[in-house]
Amino acid sequence: MRAMQIPYDHPLLLSIVDDLAVKGWSQQNIFLPEGLTLELAAECHKRAAEGELAPAAVGRGPFQEIREGIRGDHIQWLEPGEAAICDTYLNLMDSLRLAMNRGLFLGLEDFESHFAMYPPGAFYLKHVDRFRDDDRRMVSAVVYLNDAWLPEHGGQLRMYLKDNVEYDVVPTGGCLVVFLSGEVPHEVLPATRERLSLTGWFRRRGNEPF
Ligand code: OGA
Ligand code: MN
């Protein structure tokens, strides 16, 4: 059993909180230790082989539909207690949640996340990670699980920042990108190879009755 707890005042978490406060996003190229990245990638592959990943839908509730012309990834939502390695990831993200609550007063109450596998050629068109009828998602967090990714493989996360600045993240294993869900439009460019990630959202409590 590997218990990896990191305190919410770890320098890495503080620097993410700092970036979010100053510019609304953060990139940490060396966030997940290599062993953890490899084990999470193996877990994702295992689930894909067992047919547990399904084409991702767009929209929410009864309006969900599969639209590969909008997003072509296959996903599976995580639940705590399914696999020790996933719990390690969830614990890490919980430390980040506490760090953000302390440093940014966001009142983040939970974290939802899924594995995502983009087959070669799949993409996700420009979007914002917030639903029109549900503004609970405050902070998006993506960690990449790809071994030896090169820029020429494509698959960049393209973020549309202030002042017409576009910024591309190469989805290298162990890298974490965090951004304010309502404020950073972004897209996933197609890649020449399979692209794996864990994507999640820190949420505050909603006011709405559903
Ligand atoms: C998403 C998303 C970005 C990425 O799942 O909403 O934008 O780099 N993912 O995988
Ligand atoms: Mn997104």
pLDDT tens series, the chain, 210 aa: 455 678 888 999 999 999 999 999 999 999 999 999 999 999 999 999 999 999 998 887 877 888 888 999 999 999 999 999 999 999 999 999 999 999 999 999 999 999 999 999 999 999 999 877 778 999 999 999 999 999 999 999 999 999 999 999 999 999 999 999 999 999 999 999 999 999 999 999 876 555
Q: What domains, with CATH codes, occur in the chain?
A: 11-204 (2.60.120.620)
Angle at 78 (CA atoms; ends 75, 83), nearest 5 degrees: 120
Cα 46 to Cα 55: distance, rounded to the nearest angstrom: 16
- State whether the beta carbon of 188 lies less than 6 angstroms from ligand 1: yes
Tokens of 186: 């972004």
Give me ligand 2 centre to Cα 187, in Å. Answer: 7
> 32, exposed or middle or buried, with CB in 10 Å at 0-12, 13-18, 19+?
buried
> b/e map of 170-192 (b: 16 or more CB within 10 Å)?
bbbbbbbbbbbbeebebbbebbe
Cβ neighbours of residue 91 under 8 Å, at least 6 residues apart? 4, 5
- State whether the beta carbon of 199 lies less than 6 angstroms from ligand 1: yes
- State whether the beta carbon of 186 lies less than 6 angstroms from ligand 1: yes
Give me ligand 1 centre to Cα 172, in Å. Answer: 14
- Angstrom distances, CA of residue 118 to CA of 29, 155, 189: 20, 9, 10
